[in-house]
Amino acid sequence: MNHWIDSPERLEAHFASWSGHKTVALDTEFVREKTYYPQLALVQLGVPGEILLIDPLVPGIPEVLKPWLLNPDICKIIHSPSEDLQAFSRGTGAVPVNIFDTQAAAALCGMGAGLGYQKLIETVTGTVLEKGETRSDWLKRPLTDSQCRYAADDVLYLHQVHELLSEKLQSLNRLHWLQADGERAVRNANNDIDDPFPHLGLSRAQGLDHRAQALLCRLLRWRDTKARISDKPKSWILDNELAAFLARSVPAQYNHFTAILDRSPKAPRKFRTELWEEVTRELTDSELAIPPIKNVDAIDKQKLRAMQEAVAKQAAALNIPEGLLASRKHLEVLLEGHWPGALEGWRRELLEPFITPLMPVLQE
């Protein structure tokens, strides 16, 4: 049975009736087309036989949801929750704790990497779900019957999936791996800060000299801060291509700078004076001390290949995706002599015996 919840009192009453349930299915619908942060538009909660479609736009409802989300005694079954956690953080001021990520669980069970919700449900239950409301305007009220059915389906089968995956993980002695990854996801959502070195992930920055890289890093940091404050997509403030161009070819005069922006259809209409100041201000010693973009030719490809083969062998033995165990980016950090934080815990325990012989000078 589905219930539309649009008052704090009704939500509190349902929570009171659910006091015996320690496992609850959870999902959200959010909108992120015109904002930096996902806008929480709907919360779906489910226990066997009952689903709540909760309107978080109603005053008072986020306050009722918050302590429930933070209750460590309730396991929240959720599929691929990274953006949902951000939406909850923004919409309720709380990041759910004690989560069971069904996508990650499926991968740890050997069912494949990055399984979508519809595919996972079809694989486990044989049910083919509709996809028609994926791009709906979830902020518009009232929601249509079709939207409500679609939203309810997103939690309807999660208990069945959870039961199957939990049993498989326990038999494989991997349930603690999933729990550790869930705890890390919650920590990351709570510590949602801008990347201090955003230039490192920009492929078009290859070939820039060090000063240009430092300027690019400054421009991207400025862009990210503006996007957060204004709650607008990063590309609306300054897109990557224009940022790289400005860092590579610093305009000599303001009129040259504005001419460049006028020629770019994605150039910012606001903040031009501020952006000009960022482009032309002298770089500081700390800005110049940033880590440089890794030159592909400088990577020890032989060692990297050996590490990739070790990861692939271990992943095959465990029947899990290689990328779930360690990505190329993680291995590149290992080549520098450091264990990245993402590989701490069970991943390091598995990989260290194979990686250490390949990198005898690894540092803590």
DSSP letters for 11-72? HHHHHHHTTT-SEEEEEEEEE-SS-SS-EEEEEEEEETTEEEEE-TTSTTHHHHHHHHHT-T
In the Cβ-directed half-sphere of 189, how many Cα atoms lie within 13 Å?
24
**75 bridge partner residues:** 23
* Per-residue pLDDT tens digits for 137-146: 999 999 999 9
pLDDT score at 364: 45
Left (φ > 0), alpha (ψ -120 to 50) or beta: where does 140 sit? beta
pLDDT score at 362: 42
- Report the distance separating Cα 166 and Cα 105, nearest Å: 8
Domain span(s) for CATH 3.30.420.10 in the chain: 2-190
**46 bridge partner residues:** 25, 51
Instruction: With H, G, I as helix, E, B as strand and everything else as coil, classify residue 224.
Output: helix
CATH topology of domain 2-190: Nucleotidyltransferase; domain 5 (3.30.420)
Q: What is the CA radius of gyration of the chain?
A: 24
**203 bridge partner residues:** none
pLDDT score at 286: 96
DSSP per-residue codes, 154-215 = HHHTHHHHHHHHHHHHHHHT-HHHHHHHHHHHHHHHHT----S-GGGG-GGGTT--HHHHHH
Query: Cα 200 vs. chain centroid, distance in angstroms?
Result: 18
Residue with tokens 């679609």: 150
Task: Give the total residue count for the chain.
Answer: 364
Tell me how crowded residue 231 is: count the other CB atoms within 10 A of its CB: 12
Burial of 95 (0-12, 13-18, 19+ CB in 10 A): buried
Burial of 297 (0-12, 13-18, 19+ CB in 10 A): exposed
Q: Does domain 198-288 have CATH number 3.40.50.150?
A: no
Q: Which residues of the chain have pLDDT under 70?
A: 133, 295-298, 360-364
Instruction: Work out the end-to-end distance of the chain between its first and last CA atoms, rounded to an integer number of angstroms.
Output: 54
> 216 with 247: CB under 8 angstroms?
yes
pLDDT score at 236: 92
In this prediction the pTM is: 0.90
Q: 303 vs 200, 321, 323, 329, 348, CA distance in Å?
A: 21, 21, 18, 14, 18
The pair of structure tokens assigned to 192 is: 């949602």
pLDDT score at 334: 87
> 136 with 76: CB under 8 angstroms?
no
Domain span(s) for CATH 1.10.150.80 in the chain: 198-288
